[in-house]
Structure 1
């Protein structure tokens, strides 16, 4: 009994304290000052549902905090996406519920009308709508309006940066246009951003409001028919309605507008809702690129919010397929947090203006990022994320910020890039990107036009006619022309009659020819035109179809080889050493196998060494008859004779080649010698080479001569008008294929961009021909054309420098003879050990007896061989 009383007393006291605490909590709730907050949202839209759920969670979190002296009460009204209905709802919230602040308003049109109501009633209005173009004197017209969003100009700059990265020059915009202007403000911002990067909007497709469409499928299909006739295939979708965007992509895919070579880009208003769309919509958006506002998701507050949001959203909106919150829900939560913190220091006597001032002084980190204001809108610069729709979802690619452009990772706290911030989208890599229609490679963004005849300029004044040759009757031929025709054949195979052309000869310099493309007198230039940096600024070059660079051609002097030690050149040093080692090894084997039974390999050690050495060495030149007594030795010698035969034949052939070789040595070895002695050099008068020699290599202009045609070069050398000729690599290869015995290249080669076709800036043909040239290269046809161009003349002999024979060539041969000798040696030892035994016992006794007999046999053989014989009489 004494034990139970303290326990009962403890429970009783605890119950009293808990009851008192509970009463205190209830009293605290009852004593809290109530503050009404109004929210105007489109409650039937996905965004509206997310905003409503997030606000309710924020209100609950605030009211459950025991440190707060106020209780927030949320009053939600439906705007129906109608600005007039939003304005009526604002009046009703102020007059009936005396709300302290009004939140929501997804569109700018709703925000400004509600702001007018708030201004008259002196009630702050915090809008979630982004502003494309901020009207002048906004703070004067709507002094109680605060924007919980950023200006759309940064997002449009991000879109323009993406377009610029792939050099798409023209785009088509698709936007929603209603009685209040719709998305026209964003289109204006986009147009300005594109102009800054050298691109432009070719066509603007305005779709009617989704709410006004009785049959969206038919209406959208009629609008999209206009796009079928357009040349541009880069579409930027600027829609604020997910329903309209869903129908748009479904119809575009069915009509074939989302095929290969097309590009579709969506802004944040659509991309931010990809997590909430169903599988059908995602399927029709395969390959779409999207710009999405980035927000962190790793803080404890975020994790707690996600749990509550999924639970509450699933409970209230069971018809939805996805229960994850988007950026709109996060901003709605942060909006309530901003108002709640601003109200903490206010009393019942505080004015609305004091509340507004506290809101604008906010500075904290919320779910959507940093919350602070400047000029009545968020001051924090957003970071955007590029995403690519793939499969049933999307994959996240690079980040974009106005400070650093595209980068693979976010910046650290110090403001420095934690990744390669200079990495552009062009460097992101084609394999990482999925495009509409499953295209492999970057889309051109434009469709080839058919039926128009292209004027193709070709150089008529060419030094090397194998590249381009213009006949008197106007016909054109040559390597460059063949490459062009082969590329056209590929393109017309994909799109029949897409390329129709006429060649137009041009009798002036190559730079002037390229200028004709810039001035649009020619649609393209086809010929041996070198891709240079200064030319690429004004024209669009294709993929290079031939390498290019500067090579120095000089005459050669011919000499016959005279060298007293040339007889050791056929073999390398390692080859001689290994041959000697194998020779000595074979000599040892012959002596070991023969010296006990063959009198010619016995006697004094000097005689044994001399005879063995003489025997082995003489096998190189003639056979040895029956001087060998053991079959083991004969096996070793047979293999050795085979090795000797191969080495002897190889040595003779290599030495013969070296003795008859004519060495071609250049008369001039480097550019420095030419400049030092002011020797004249020759160049093609129609190319850029002369200017390059003067500006880059620093030749004196008076020392540079023009040789005109290819056939004039030998005469210029013979008359000593020039001592070297500077030719581009393709020309040098053609020249040397004809005069390979008289001229050679020397010194280093200066590389250029290669030979390519030139098109006007922004022309889709450049990308088409680049793709065709790559196909020619991969199929081997381009190589065949090159072989025909650079095939050597029949006058050219195939004289090349003979290399010394190395160990790498004969290591297998040495392995055979060494291995054979070693194998025979082992067999010989085994044969001695396996002689018949008198008393076979255990294995250990057999081994011992065999060893004893081997020793006795060796002693007997020594006694026999020590007897004086004719072969053992000293000869010296």
Structure 2
């Protein structure tokens, strides 16, 4: 009764009795309190036994601690006297103890807002610090299960006995400090917690990067800690929420006056949640007793009659909705507070309605919290995890600085000598570290010679140095290779992968044969074939009706080729007589119009637009010619080139993009190189700088890209690989644009690469049209010709070869207006030839029987065959 809790509770009970009967002045059953001390377990059990046996109380309020309540509840169950206590240990269950009514929340219920808080900030590991005893141990298994459900690991559990020395607590804290986890959940009563946080401050564990979360039992009793505000700045607490109301404010004022009147020398005790719940408990008891008074059965003992009325009741009290169901006070809302300055600030709530955290009591803002001030007066959300490296404070990250400044470079302050690392690879590494779910302190260490002016070795030597413990990690433009992976572990790559050639380009407008380039080879061949085919079709159709298509063979061959090719420039002047040949030529002229228009447009583009072609397209051409090829100094590309068959005299190493440019400008003949073999990230940067002069060519030899290296077995590899994916998805484009933005001038004047010639695929339609029209006309002509000479074909007395000769001679010798020979059978069944004479046209100037006439020539040939 001399403790702060005892003074506060007794004052609240007395005031509740007066207030209840002032409000219900017509009630006949009056509560009479009997107060007893319970400073330890034995005294609590003795006091309870005295109250039950000697005073014969109807119910017992208290005690407050779980260990004392355990004894008293056992007595209450035995003697059938209800025990109303705020003991929150889950080992004390109203379900197993019928006469136990818990007027506080089960301590396991607070794990929901705690886990939601940890999940909200993404902390993957926690340390549980708890007080020895029933109060502390009861929560341990439930906390482990709750953390497991959200994927968070409890890496360590520290038990603090009330009797241990401060040195023991300090030693345990130093041990925790050497571990990786920086999130601590403390479940202890004020007396132990006060000593704990004093040692936490001394150990330097209230600095930036640490997280301390206290459970409800401590968060609601901070006033009992020594210098709590100074020791616990930035701590987050979970406690039951009491809604502010006029009745509560009025009671606080009245309680303060009465308390000071009773205990004028006590300036430390303040009204807290436990006192308010005691007040509401008395109101519940008063209502239950009045209901008993209305019952007719008065022979039954008071405890059993009272029990059902207080195991289930509900009232709107000072603490809000005071709802007891089956002996357990049901939770409604938890408040998340941040200890700042001289008090605490509410940063959020958890309630059963929204089943999550929110900075307001609504569903709209679910998943949000107000800004938090963390230990060390920091406003940066702690990562919750730090990687200790060989008991050192910093992760030593080795970097090889060469001449490719955009990727990685070192700036040295001439006055202080301080080294600042910059570049694309550095920004990516920094962004990846920021994405880790924990804090990782690191420093860049240059891999340079003793004079600090050049790299200390190749990239392979840097990786070897890491494998033997020279560094804790390696960052920069390190390519992931199979032989390197045997020595170290790599993260996922963060750049594109591959190796290719960079060669000078030449302008195709200066080529002697550029006029051939508008059409591809297959289109030239197809066009030429159609020229000949079309000319042949026209000659066949016109040969029998048009004098200009007759004459000696050389003349006819020339006419065939001339007429067809002259259509290109529409220079043909020969008059066509047959409608079939006219149809063929019309279609072919249309085809020529399409072809010549396309050819003209393509050639114009080639002559007006700069045409850039790689000087070399095959690396074997460079090797066979004995020309030189360049590579980056210290790169694995040298060994790749040697595997391709290049000898040492052909290989030249360079360290900057400017050296690449100078070497390519000189060429192999003047001491430079014909090409540069390099990785794609470097090629992109180099070509962006020299857009008019060089191009990438040849196949891309696959590699895995750039990655960060760590010793084999390092736990950081998995976490950084995951962080690499996050940076690649969210930030890589911005980082790339910052370092590799293409020159604006180069972007404006960027030449177009070679315009490809037109292929036959683009003209399939017109060639199909020309082929169909020519072939159709040719077939119509032949069918008509054979029909006109059907007498020769139907003869049964002569061989096929004789008929073919006569038909061919008829086609070549006779015009359509001349008589034609016919094959007939004589009466003696011997071969004979009779000729159906037609009158020759007078204007032809010759007779069908004149010597040398076509008819006589044909007769002579046929007679010779017959004989």
Aligned partners of 1:149, 1:486: CA distance in 2, in Å?
48
Give the CA deviation at 1:334.
1.1
- State how 1:293-372 maps to structure 2 within 5 Å: 293-298=240-245, 300-322=246-268, 324-347=270-293, 349=299, 351=301, 352-372=303-323
Q: Does the C-alpha gap of structure 1 residues 120 and 482 become closer, same or farther in structure 2, counting only changes over 3 Å? A: closer
Which residue does the alignment assign to 1:272? 220
Q: Does the C-alpha gap of structure 1 residues 486 and 395 become closer, same or farther in structure 2, counting only changes over 3 Å? A: closer
Structure 1 SS opposite 2:30: strand
Give the CA deviation at 1:399.
0.7
Q: Does the C-alpha gap of structure 1 residues 478 and 370 become closer, same or farther in structure 2, counting only changes over 3 Å? A: closer
Q: Does 1:60 align with 2:18?
A: yes
Q: Does 1:525 align with 2:491?
A: yes
Aligned partners of 1:558, 1:146: CA distance in 2, in Å?
96
Which residue does the alignment assign to 2:139? 186
Aligned partners of 1:764, 1:261: CA distance in 2, in Å?
22
Give the CA deviation at 1:736.
4.4
Among candidates 488, 500, 504, match of residue 472 of structure 2: 500
Which residue does the alignment assign to 1:259? 207
Q: Does 1:739 align with 2:685?
A: no
Aligned partners of 1:789, 1:169: CA distance in 2, in Å?
36
1:132-157 Cα distance to aligned partner (Å, 9 max, x none): 2456xx645x2211111222222112
5+ long unaligned stretches in structure 1: 1-42, 412-416, 459-463, 469-476, 531-554, 560-661, 666-710, 712-726, 745-754, 802-876
Q: Does the C-alpha gap of structure 1 residues 160 and 310 become closer, same or farther in structure 2, counting only changes over 3 Å? A: same
Q: Does 1:287 align with 2:234?
A: yes
Which residue does the alignment assign to 1:227? 176
Structure 2 SS opposite 1:111: helix
Aligned partners of 1:740, 1:339: CA distance in 2, in Å?
93
5+ long unaligned stretches in structure 2: 409-420, 435-439, 447-468, 497-504, 510-607, 612-659, 661-678, 697-705, 752-867
Q: Does the C-alpha gap of structure 1 residues 105 and 279 become closer, same or farther in structure 2, counting only changes over 3 Å? A: closer
Which residue does the alignment assign to 1:146? 101
Give the CA deviation at 1:332.
0.7
Among candidates 88, 97, 100, match of residue 130 of structure 1: 88
Give the CA deviation at 1:373.
2.7
1:803-859 Cα distance to aligned partner (Å, 9 max, x none): xxxxxxxxxxxxxxxxxxxxxxxxxxxxxxxxxxxxxxxxxxxxxxxxxxxxxxxxx
Structure 2 SS opposite 1:146: strand
Q: Does 1:121 align with 2:79?
A: yes
Aligned partners of 1:439, 1:45: CA distance in 2, in Å?
37
Aligned partners of 1:493, 1:499: CA distance in 2, in Å?
11
Aligned partners of 1:310, 1:767: CA distance in 2, in Å?
59
Q: Does the C-alpha gap of structure 1 residues 730 and 174 become closer, same or farther in structure 2, counting only changes over 3 Å? A: farther
Aligned partners of 1:100, 1:280: CA distance in 2, in Å?
41
Give the CA deviation at 1:318.
3.8
- State how 1:313-462 maps to structure 2 within 5 Å: 313-322=259-268, 324-347=270-293, 349=299, 351=301, 352-378=303-329, 380-402=330-352, 403-411=354-362, 417=363, 419-421=364-366, 423-425=367-369, 428=370, 432-451=371-390
- State how 1:535-614 maps to structure 2 within 5 Å: none
Aligned partners of 1:279, 1:322: CA distance in 2, in Å?
11
Structure 1 SS opposite 2:87: coil
1:478-524 Cα distance to aligned partner (Å, 9 max, x none): 96545478899994459999972257854489xxx9xx9xxxx9765
Answer whether contact 2:473 2:708 (CA < 8 A) is retained.
Answer: no
Structure 1 SS opposite 2:389: coil
1:147-189 Cα distance to aligned partner (Å, 9 max, x none): 11222222112112211222211111111113xx341121221
Give the CA deviation at 1:230.
2.3
Aligned partners of 2:425, 2:62: CA distance in 1, in Å?
65
Q: Does 1:88 align with 2:60?
A: no
Q: Does the C-alpha gap of structure 1 residues 117 and 228 become closer, same or farther in structure 2, counting only changes over 3 Å? A: same
Aligned partners of 2:490, 2:333: CA distance in 1, in Å?
42
Structure 2 SS opposite 1:157: helix
Aligned partners of 1:318, 1:494: CA distance in 2, in Å?
63
Which residue does the alignment assign to 2:118? 163
Structure 2 SS opposite 1:335: helix
Which residue does the alignment assign to 1:71? 30
Give the CA deviation at 1:236.
0.9
How many residue pairs get matched?
509
Answer whether contact 2:397 2:442 (CA < 8 A) is retained.
Answer: no
Which residue does the alignment assign to 1:237? 186
Answer whether contact 1:145 1:376 (CA < 8 A) is retained.
Answer: yes
Structure 2 SS opposite 1:70: coil
Answer whether contact 2:692 2:750 (CA < 8 A) is retained.
Answer: no
Aligned partners of 2:493, 2:131: CA distance in 1, in Å?
48
Structure 2 SS opposite 1:438: coil
- State how 1:701-850 maps to structure 2 within 5 Å: 736-739=688-691, 789-790=740-741, 792=743, 796=746, 799=749
Answer whether contact 1:144 1:356 (CA < 8 A) is retained.
Answer: yes
Q: Does the C-alpha gap of structure 1 residues 456 and 493 become closer, same or farther in structure 2, counting only changes over 3 Å? A: closer
1:397-425 Cα distance to aligned partner (Å, 9 max, x none): 111124431112114xxxxx3x412x245
Structure 1 SS opposite 2:140: helix
Answer whether contact 1:484 1:526 (CA < 8 A) is retained.
Answer: no
Q: Does the C-alpha gap of structure 1 residues 360 and 465 become closer, same or farther in structure 2, counting only changes over 3 Å? A: same
Give the CA deviation at 1:222.
4.2
Which residue does the alignment assign to 2:157? 204
Aligned partners of 2:479, 2:396: CA distance in 1, in Å?
10
Give the CA deviation at 1:221.
2.9
Answer whether contact 1:398 1:409 (CA < 8 A) is retained.
Answer: yes
Give the CA deviation at 1:765.
7.5
Answer whether contact 2:480 2:707 (CA < 8 A) is retained.
Answer: no
Give the CA deviation at 1:329.
0.8
Q: Does the C-alpha gap of structure 1 residues 333 and 757 become closer, same or farther in structure 2, counting only changes over 3 Å? A: farther
Please provide the CA RMSD for this pair: 5.0
Give the CA deviation at 1:286.
0.7
Give the CA deviation at 1:335.
1.1
Aligned partners of 2:311, 2:488: CA distance in 1, in Å?
60
Give the CA deviation at 1:396.
0.9
Aligned partners of 2:282, 2:686: CA distance in 1, in Å?
78
Structure 2 SS opposite 1:123: coil
Give the CA deviation at 1:434.
0.8
Answer whether contact 1:734 1:790 (CA < 8 A) is retained.
Answer: no
Aligned partners of 1:756, 1:388: CA distance in 2, in Å?
41
Answer whether contact 1:221 1:251 (CA < 8 A) is retained.
Answer: yes
Give the CA deviation at 1:49.
2.9
Structure 2 SS opposite 1:174: strand
Aligned partners of 2:142, 2:375: CA distance in 1, in Å?
26
Aligned partners of 2:743, 2:210: CA distance in 1, in Å?
46
Give the CA deviation at 1:225.
3.6
Aligned partners of 2:122, 2:158: CA distance in 1, in Å?
22
Which residue does the alignment assign to 2:65? 107
Answer whether contact 1:266 1:291 (CA < 8 A) is retained.
Answer: yes
Give the CA deviation at 1:198.
0.9
Give the CA deviation at 1:91.
0.3
